Amino acid sequence: MRAADAFGLPLVQSSMSQGQDFSKGANIAFVAATALDLAYILQENVTSVPPLNSFLSVQLGWFEQQQLKPSLCNATKDYDDYLGRSLFFVGEFGGNDYTFLLAANKTVDQAKTYVPAVVNAIADGVERLIKHGARRIVVPGILPTGCIPVMLTLYASPERSDYDLYGCLNKYNGLSRYHDELLRSQIEALRKKSTRFDGSSTLLACCGAGGEYNYNPIAACGFPGATACADPSRAVNWDGIHLTEAAYRVIAGTWLHSYLSNFKRLLVLPPILLRKKD
């Protein structure tokens, strides 16, 4: 909701709504949804999970097979372009998985053994979206489990040492941290795997005349003998000296989004008045 407000967009409709315009987004979230498949959870004798087919893989199926995907674009080319410009939020997923595991009398250490499977399920879902053409995907971590009132109530401890200085349960927050660490690692691996800047292009000039780095001072870009690479958007360096527009776009975007609030703050500061010397 806050993201929609920030971008001046209307609140997204439920994907189950009939006759809605989903061109501005859709909410596929479902109650008690897990990252792990229901069959897998039940196979592990975790009967505390509601018998709902609403886990991540099913939600992606709703996106792919129901009215969402067909309604967004008429042609494949348009569809790919639309998804490439769209913003996806995947999650947060994982919190429900661990809640149901703990409710089934699993210890925190036992719940931790499921973290790799949970994270892999999330990463598989993200990769599935990437294959559809998604390029801007936000994958949140989970909340600090040990600070949630329901957990503090159900798993209260008489030992003060079990709580941190904020009054949260240490070992349950440890579960959240472990999940987030593995998730961050998986997403970083996906980013490297799916990046538009392939590994061979980061140190090569796009426009040049050969050599180890495709830079020849006697046949520089723009001179006879130099040619440009087929797709400059996949290269970091343009002519051996200057970066490509694609690389500068990434830098500018990072600067704007990271420092824009501070930049705006500077604009409202009163001007510095210089006193003339007598």
Q: Does this model's pTM top 0.85?
A: no
Q: Do 185 and 223 share a structural domain?
A: no
pLDDT of residue 51: 75
Last residue of a domain, one of 172, 194, 216: 194
Predicted pLDDT of residue 241: 87
User: Tell me: the pLDDT tens digits for 14-63?
Assistant: 666 666 666 667 777 777 899 999 888 888 888 888 777 889 998 888 88
Of the two residues 149 and 2, the one the predictor is more confident about is: 149
Question: Is 278 part of any domain?
Answer: no
Tell me, yes or no, whether 200 lies in a domain: no
- Report the number of distinct structural domains present in the chain: 2
Residue 10 has which token pair? 């209307």
Question: Do the domain assignments include residue 156?
Answer: yes
What is the C-alpha separation between 178 and 193, in angstroms, rounded? 23
